[in-house]
Amino acid sequence: MVQRVLFVCLGNICRSPAAEGVFLKLIQSKGLEDKYFVDSAGTGGWHVGRQPDPRIVDASSRRGISLSSRARQIQLRDFYEFDWILTMDNDNLEIVNSMICKLDKPQKAIVRPVLSYARKYNLSEVPDPYYGSDSGFEYVLDILQDACQGLLEEIN
Ligand code: 4NP
């Protein structure tokens, strides 16, 4: 059965597209492409339709990870269509959890902070790199590589 995984951040142009790319690369390296459908979304809608921020695209490409998503906002139907909804920070988690009371039938998705699967990094949030320096984008990728590895081991 295909596992459907949705990564969620605020704008869907930095952290969650990076998580999507990191997780896709991981499943490709293990020949598991047929077993997963991976997507990302933002809690906000300001960047809908945009490609990921060039700073995260460049940092990812230096690690052999290509990001090809277009920003979209999380929808109520995502709670029925995805098995896993993985949030980047506490604000995202709060907003995603607040959407659950608007559902008119029980959700399918398990909602968890992505960093609950990290092994090396003892953090609860993936820091928002948008207003920071280039090193923040590298750090986001370091954290996400750890968390996505743990996530795959957990759900595979
Ligand atoms: P993301 O980063 O949530 O990781 O995509 C951000 C992107 C845009 C903004 C904030 C965070 N913004 O304020 O426009």
Catalytic center residues: 9, 15, 128
pLDDT the model gives residue 137: 98
pLDDT the model gives residue 2: 97
SS3 127: coil
What CATH number corresponds to the domain at position 117?
3.40.50.2300
CB of 130 closer than 6 angstroms to any ligand 1 atom: yes
pLDDT the model gives residue 20: 98
Ligand 1 atom, smallest distance to 15 CA:
4
Q: Stretch 102-109: mean pLDDT, rounded?
A: 97
Q: Which domain range does residue 41 map to?
A: 3-155
pLDDT the model gives residue 55: 98
Domain count, the chain: 1
Ligand 1 atom, smallest distance to 92 CA:
3
CB of 9 closer than 6 angstroms to any ligand 1 atom: yes
Nearest CA residue ID for atom 7, ligand 1: 11
CA dist 3 to 33, 110, 113, Å? 10, 12, 17
pLDDT grade for 133, boundaries at 50, 70 and 90: very high
Q: Stretch 74-103: mean pLDDT, rounded?
A: 98
Q: Stretch 45-57: mean pLDDT, rounded?
A: 98
pLDDT grade for 36, boundaries at 50, 70 and 90: very high
Q: Among 10, 70, 74, name the best residue to mutate to test ligand 1's pocket (greatest count of ligand atoms within 8 A of Cβ).
A: 10
Q: Strand 3-9's sheet: what is its strand order?
A: 36-42, 3-9, 84-87, 110-113
pLDDT the model gives residue 122: 97
pLDDT the model gives residue 104: 96
